[in-house]
Chain A
Amino acid sequence: MTFEITLSDEVLALSARRSYIELNARARALQLLDDGTFHELLGPFDRVESPWLPMQGIVTQSDDGCVVAKGKIDGQPAVVIAMEGKFQGGSIGEVCGMKMAEAFRLARLDNEKGIPTRAVLSLESGGVRLQEANMGELVIAEIYAEMVALRKHTPLIVVITGPTGCFGGMSLAAGLASYVVMTRQARLSMNGPEVIELEAGKDEFVAADKPFVWSVNGGAQRFATDFADVLLEDDADAVTQAVTELFRKGQPAQLRTDKYELFIKRLKFLDPAKQWVAEDIRNAWKAVAK
Chain B
Amino acid sequence: MEILNFEFPSSKVKARRAHVGVVGSGDLEILMEPSVDGETRVTIQTSVAGFVDTWKAVVERFLQQHPEAANIEIHDFGATPGTVALRLQQAVEVSKS
Contact = CB atoms under 8 A, between A and B. Distances in A.
Interface of A: 24, 43-45, 47, 54, 57-62, 65, 84, 86-88
A282 B19 CA distance: 46
Given A44-B19, A57-B1, A62 B31 contact: yes
Given A58-B1, A59-B47, 10 more contacts: A24-B22, A44-B31, A47-B31, A54-B45, A59-B1, A61-B22, A62-B19, A86-B22, A86-B23, A87-B22
Interface residues of chain A: helix, strand, loop or mixed (majority):
loop
Given A45-B19, A61-B75, A54 B1 contact: yes
Of B19, B23, B46, which is in contact with the most chain A CB atoms at under 10 Å from its CB? B23
Contact of B75 (A43, A45, A57, A59): A59
Closest 8 CB pairs of A and B: A86-B24, A57-B1, A61-B23, A44-B19, A86-B22, A59-B45, A87-B23, A59-B47
B64 interface: no
B84 to A, nearest CB: 14
A43 B24 CA distance: 18
7 contacts: A58-B1, A59-B76, A61-B23, A62-B73, A86-B23, A87-B22, A87-B24
Contacts of B29: 44, 61-62
A59 B19 contact: no
Interface string B57-79: 00000000000000001011100
Contacts of A65: 23
B14 interface: no
Nearest to B44: A59
Nearest to B48: A59
B31 A59 contact: no
A84 B23 CA distance: 10
A58 B46 CA distance: 9
B19 A58 contact: no
Contacts of A57: 1
B23 A59 contact: yes
Contacts of B75: 59-62
Contacts of B19: 43-45, 62
B27 interface: yes
Contacts of B25: 86
